[in-house]
Structure 1
Amino acid sequence: MASFEIHRATKRRAKLRLGMSGPAGSGKTYSALMIASGLGGRIGMIDTEHGSGDLYADLLPEGYDVLTLSPPYTPARYIEAIHALEDIGVQTIIIDSLTHAWSGEGGSLDRQGKIADKSGNSWQAWRQVTPEHNALVEAILQSRCHIIATMRAKTEYVQEKDERTGKQVVRKVGLAPIMRDGIEYEFTTFFELDVQHQAYVGKDRTRLFDGQIFRPDPETGRNLASWLNAGVDGERAGNAMTPDQKTAMADAINRAESQDDLYRAFAVAYRVANSLHDQDALAELTALKDQRKALLEPHPQQFGMAA
Structure 2
Amino acid sequence: MNDTMIQTTGLTRHFTVKKDVVEAVRGLDLHVAEGELVALLGPNGAGKSTTLRMLTTLIPPTSGTATVAGYDVVARQREVRRVIGYIGQGNGAAHAQRGRDELVSQGRAYGMSTRDAKARADELVASLDLAAVADRPVSSLSGGQKRRLDIAMGLIHAPRLLFLDEPSTGLDPQNRANLQEHILKLRAEHGTTIVLTTHYLDEADAMAERVIVVDHGTVIADDTPARLKADHAGDLITLGFGSGGDAGRAAARLSSLSDATVSSGGATVEVRVAGGPRLVPGILRDLDAAGIAVESTAVNRPTLDDVFLNLTGRSLREGVVTTSTEEVAA
Q: TM-score, normalised by structure 1?
A: 0.34
Q: TM-score, normalised by structure 2?
A: 0.32
Greater helix content: 1
Higher relative contact order (CA 8 A, sep 6+): 1
Greater strand content: 2
